[in-house]
Amino acid sequence: MADLAAPSLPVGPIGIVGLGLIGGSLGLDLQARGRVVRALVHREATAERARARGLATVVSTDGALLADCVLVVLALPLDRLLEPPPDLVAALPQRAVITDVGSVKQPVLACWRELHPRFVASHPMAGTALAGVEAGLAGLFAGRPWVATPEADTDPAALAAVQALAELLGAKWIRCGAIEHDRSVALISHLPVLASAALLTNADRAGAASGLSLLVRTLASSGFADTTRVGGGNPQLGTLMARCNREAVQAALGSYRQQIEHIEQLLQQGDWPALQQLLEQASALRPEFVASLS
């Protein structure tokens, strides 16, 4: 007997709006699984490059190509997602399932719950250091979380379709509230970007203030490289995350600053057993967070 409860992806073309890292990777994976992919991009130059890379079955700058899509993924940067052009909204078929890939969910829902009846807010948590039409790569979503943040009135069949999409690509399906999502990513994604950037600007400024500009650069090791990787990433993306998730990022920054102050106090007091205990806690915590990653 078929499992009637299993989520299924509707038959028909799948639309992707935007062919950056996420959109391009989706296009490659979906075609590899035999799906027809229709991709809408902003510029003709991007369309030509996307065609050359085979990121979709059809690539166009004309929203009309989305007309018969059964599911459309809005793979746009947060700022464009939160101020969608009216012709994009008009081009989305009313019966299609619409989902997004934005890294903050409350403002996306606040905007899109009014714009489309079958919108499902989602966030595939896959990334690389790359962006743009050259960035998309096959297999990006395999084993990575794909979070959906449905509301009480989210269409259950639309939610099931997005779940089927995520599972088709090998992602780990997770459901939670938008507030919970946004607070969590503030702690494990957005704050680390800012804390990591602050390590770089602090090493530069405090180094220069001590006349050590060259020496700090010469002595930086693989540990500094690891710790500053996300802080040296895309500045626009980092700013958008902070702007769109402002409240949660402020809270995360505040509690982080208190942790730093606590460590300052331990050094001030020379309380080495307590410092070692804190570092032992950190060491024990890390595998709980990143066991499958490092």
**Which positions from 165 through 184 interact with a copy of itself, judged by CB under 8 A?**
174, 176, 180-181, 183-184
- Quote the strand ranges of 121-262, DSSP E: 122-124, 145-148, 172-175
Q: Does 254 bind a copy of itself (CB under 8 A)?
A: yes
CA–CA dist 230, 107 (Å, integer): 23
Q: Does 137 bind a copy of itself (CB under 8 A)?
A: no
* Site residue total, a copy of itself (CB under 8 A): 97
Q: Does 268 bind a copy of itself (CB under 8 A)?
A: yes
Nearer to a copy of itself by C-beta: 152 or 291? 291
Q: Does 207 bind a copy of itself (CB under 8 A)?
A: yes
Residues in the chain: 294
Please, what sign has the CA dihedral across residues 220, 225, 227, 228?
positive
Report in angstroms how near the CB of residue 270 gets to a copy of itself at its nearest: 7
- Beta strands 97-100 and 71-74 are parallel
Residues 6+ away with beta carbon under 8 Å from 26: 16, 37, 73, 75, 136, 141, 169
* Residue from 248, 287, 254 nearest 104 by CA: 248
The SS3 of residue 48 is: helix
Q: Does 106 bind a copy of itself (CB under 8 A)?
A: no
Q: Does 204 bind a copy of itself (CB under 8 A)?
A: yes
Nearer to a copy of itself by C-beta: 99 or 196? 196
Report in angstroms how near the CB of residue 125 gets to a copy of itself at its nearest: 5
Q: Does 252 bind a copy of itself (CB under 8 A)?
A: yes
> Which residue in the set 27, 93, 127, 150 belongs to the binding site for a copy of itself (CB under 8 A)?
127
Q: Does 269 bind a copy of itself (CB under 8 A)?
A: no
